[in-house]
Amino acid sequence: MIIFNHVYKEYKNGVVALDDVTLEIPSGDFVFLVGASGAGKSTMIKLLIREEQVSKGSIRIDDTDITAMPKFKIPKLRREVGVVFQDYRLLNRKTVFENIAYALEITGESSREIKKRVEAVLETVHLEDKQNCYPTELSGGESQRVSIARAMIHRPKILVCDEPTGNLDFDTAKDIMDALDRFNQEGVTIVMATHAREIVDAMQKRVVSLDGGSILFDQESAGYYENPQTI
């Protein structure tokens, strides 16, 4: 369970990114955050991984108030809340396998466990045949699936995605969404910020629409266009 409780976020330049946001996301839910640029979508993602801190209010994940979490615990939080960005952030000098394995190596996992888990997650994102390729040899869609696999290698219970299909055509984006949907069906909570109206309409998941840092509407199994305020 994720709970935003009367959350405000004001940046140092005076911009109010979130204005009294209260929201509950049950475990296993799939939620799209939609709205124009500057609506507050990316700020919500950053707050969930403690890349930013709230100005007022609190955010809880299960029984933990992450807004009160000391800095030394943030790396552990980021193993429990996976994150996928629009720009992939892969290491060009490492193969697909090595990019994913690196996240486990730095936590001291054994070579045997790393091999087992990397092969399993590559199978889930349908990239078994690309494990020895380098990022420069991949398409945009393949690169993003590697990014998703890397985010999922610690088996997080929550995956947050900030415009993960932003640079991709619809068919390639649909492949990304199929991968995310498979993880969601395994019980992973997905929170995805997006401008991709076609993807939101196709998926028919829960939609939270933001405008000026406030929630306009929150609707189950909604399309982007189902409320005129989102247009």
Gyration radius of the chain over CA positions: 17
- DSSP H or E segment with residue 185: helix 170-185
**Residue 195's pLDDT band (cuts 50, 70, 90):** confident
**Looking at residues 97-120, what average pLDDT do you find?**
92
Residue 223 has pLDDT above 70, yes or no: no
- Please check the confidence at residue 44 and state whether its pLDDT lies above 70: yes
Per-residue pLDDT tens for 74-88? 988 988 899 998 888
Short-list 186, 178, 185, 96, CA closest to 142 = 96
- Residues 160, 148: Cα–Cα separation, whole Å: 10
SS percent in the chain: helix, strand, coil, step 5: 40, 25, 35
Decide if pLDDT at 21 tops 70.
yes
pLDDT band at 89 (very low <50, low <70, confident <90, very high): confident
Whether residue 229 is predicted with pLDDT greater than 70 in this model: the reply is no
DSSP structure string for 116-170: HHHHHHHHHTT-GGGTT--GGGS-HHHHHHHHHHHHHTT--SEEEEESTTTTS-H
Q: How confident is the model at residue 231 (pLDDT cuts 50, 70, 90)?
A: very low
Mean pLDDT rounded to a whole number for the chain: 90
Looking up residue 47, the CATH number of its domain turns out to be 3.40.50.300
pLDDT score, position 100: 94
- pLDDT (mean) for 60-82: 92
User: Which pLDDT belongs to residue 221?
Assistant: 73
230: pLDDT strictly greater than 50:
no
- Do residues 101 and 131 touch, judged by C-beta distance below 8 A? no
Residue 62 has pLDDT above 80, yes or no: yes
Residue 106 has a pLDDT of 85
Token digits for 27? 């475990």
Residue 171's SS3 state is helix
Nearest to 41 by CA among 32, 49, 52: 32
Q: Give me the number of domains the chain comprises.
A: 1
pLDDT of 92: 92
Percent of the chain residues past pLDDT 70, beyond the cut: 96
**Whole domain around residue 157: which residue ranges?**
2-230
Residue 32 three-state SS: strand
* Mean predicted confidence (pLDDT) in 142-167: 91
Is the model's pLDDT at 15 over the cut of 50? yes
Q: CA 103 → CA 2, 95, 143, distances in Å?
A: 24, 13, 16
CA–CA separation, 163 and 167 (whole Å): 9
Residue 186 near residue 121 (C-beta atoms within 8 A)? no
